[in-house]
């Protein structure tokens, strides 16, 4: 592994053969790591190698180097690696980065929930202090545990933006499934306002003489996955199906259909979305009826 040496972070140089992750000081992860290093120190040494010119070149740890400079450190712990060929640099960088798997938001929330479950006396503030994060950071991710598992998965794979996930989690549990697709397709500003409006409707419903406004069906518009489009380019399946169903279609109509298909706005996609919407409405009504039945039993 090599001996740990204390080197001046300002003397460490970036590799000219490529950096897989550029330093972004505005990234919340950068600020999180910086605060952790400021409080706890740098537990993981920076990986470097000595080139023929006598310069220390960074293999792994560009963010840690910049953080050390920001904090005014005179030295940082480094491990000097031996390279037989400088062409190994990108290979080493790739290996190191593959071994650093970022924790997705919903998964982070599940981990923190387990921490709190295992230590009932631990408060959110204390947990935030232990993890060197803000209390709101803890609250936001714990709130994601309210989402159904399929929605959590879509948050963690990036399909649902964190802003939308946070707004989604503020809805009543029985409302959330009906809003998941919109959370994945709407811009945060639009989605957050829509959630607020729905929350107001539900609040008004609880007032005497008020009823909830039923949701109207709107087919969600969102891009198909890149793999689906690539498959169509290779197989031409949708194109064959279109001209089999519409043999007299013009080039303009074919183009319009292709654009609609990419945006999930073609007739088949809309019909699937409609059936999914209607199924959720039925499930919601059945759940509401079960609650009413339960209330009737309790009243007796």
Do residue 208 and residue 241 come from a single domain? no
Do residue 45 and residue 78 come from a single domain? yes
Q: How confident is the model at residue 256 (pLDDT cuts 50, 70, 90)?
A: very high
**Residue 81 lies inside a defined structural domain of this protein:** yes
Indicate if the pLDDT at residue 288 is higher than 80: no
**Residue 291 lies inside a defined structural domain of this protein:** no
Residues 129-187: tens digit of each pLDDT: 877 778 998 899 999 999 999 999 999 888 999 999 999 999 998 889 889 988 998 88
Between CA 149 and CA 152, with CA 150 as vertex, the angle to 5 degrees is 60
* CATH number for the domain that contains residue 29: 3.90.1530.10
Each residue of 229-240: b (16+ CB within 10 Å) or e? eeebeeeeebee
Q: How far apart are CA 255 and CA 242, in angstroms?
A: 11
Tokens 């059936």 belong to residue: 275
- What is the total residue count of the chain? 300
Total domains present in the chain:
3
**Residue 271 lies inside a defined structural domain of this protein:** no
**Residue 270 lies inside a defined structural domain of this protein:** no
Do residue 88 and residue 46 come from a single domain? yes
Do residue 171 and residue 122 come from a single domain? yes
**Residue 273 lies inside a defined structural domain of this protein:** no
Q: Which structural domain range is residue 127 located in? A: 105-212
Q: What is the mean pLDDT of residues 87-101?
A: 64
Q: How far apart are CA 58 and CA 62, in angstroms?
A: 7
Residues 12-33: tens digit of each pLDDT: 998 776 555 678 776 656 777 8
**Residue 244 lies inside a defined structural domain of this protein:** yes
> Residue 84 has what pLDDT?
64
Q: Do 11 and 56 form a contact (C-beta atoms < 8 A)?
A: yes
Q: How confident is the model at residue 1 (pLDDT cuts 50, 70, 90)?
A: low
Indicate if the pLDDT at residue 236 is higher than 80: yes
Element (H, E) at 263: none
Do residue 248 and residue 194 come from a single domain? no
**Residue 289 lies inside a defined structural domain of this protein:** no
Indicate if the pLDDT at residue 212 is higher than 70: no
Each residue of 124-157: b (16+ CB within 10 Å) or e? eeebbeebbbeeebbebbbebebbeeebbebbbe
């Amino acid at each position: 592994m090599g001996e740990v040496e204390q080197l001046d972070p300002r003397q460490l140089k970036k590799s000219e053969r490529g950096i897989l992750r550029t330093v972004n000081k505005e990234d919340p992860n950068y600020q999180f790591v910086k605060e952790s290093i400021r409080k706890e120190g740098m537990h993981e040494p920076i990986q470097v190698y000595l080139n023929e010119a006598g310069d220390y070149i960074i293999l792994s740890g560009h963010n840690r180097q910049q953080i050390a400079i920001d904090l005014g450190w005179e030295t940082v712990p480094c491990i000097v690696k031996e390279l037989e060929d400088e062409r190994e640099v990108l290979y080493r960088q790739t290996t190191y980065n593959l071994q650093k798997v970022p924790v997705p938001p919903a998964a982070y929330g599940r981990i923190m929930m387990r921490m709190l479950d295992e230590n009932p006396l631990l408060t959110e503030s204390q947990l935030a202090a232990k993890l060197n994060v803000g209390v709101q950071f803890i609250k936001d991710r714990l709130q994601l545990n309210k989402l159904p598992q399929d929605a959590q998965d879509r948050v963690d794979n990036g399909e649902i933006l964190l802003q939308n996930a946070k707004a989604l989690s503020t809805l009543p549990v029985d409302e959330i499934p009906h809003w998941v697709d919109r959370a994945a397709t709407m811009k945060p500003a639009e989605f957050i306002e829509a959630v607020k409006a729905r929350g107001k409707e539900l609040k008004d419903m609880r007032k005497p003489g008020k009823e909830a406004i039923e949701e109207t069906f709107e087919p969600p518009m969102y891009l198909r996955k890149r793999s689906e489009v690539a498959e169509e380019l290779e197989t031409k399946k949708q194109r064959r199906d279109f001209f089999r169903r519409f043999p007299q279609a013009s080039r303009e109509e074919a183009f319009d259909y292709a654009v609609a298909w990419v945006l999930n706005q073609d007739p088949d996609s809309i019909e699937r979305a409609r059936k999914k919407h209607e199924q959720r409405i039925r499930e919601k009504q059945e759940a509401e009826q079960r609650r009413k039945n339960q209330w009737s039993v309790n009243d007796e």
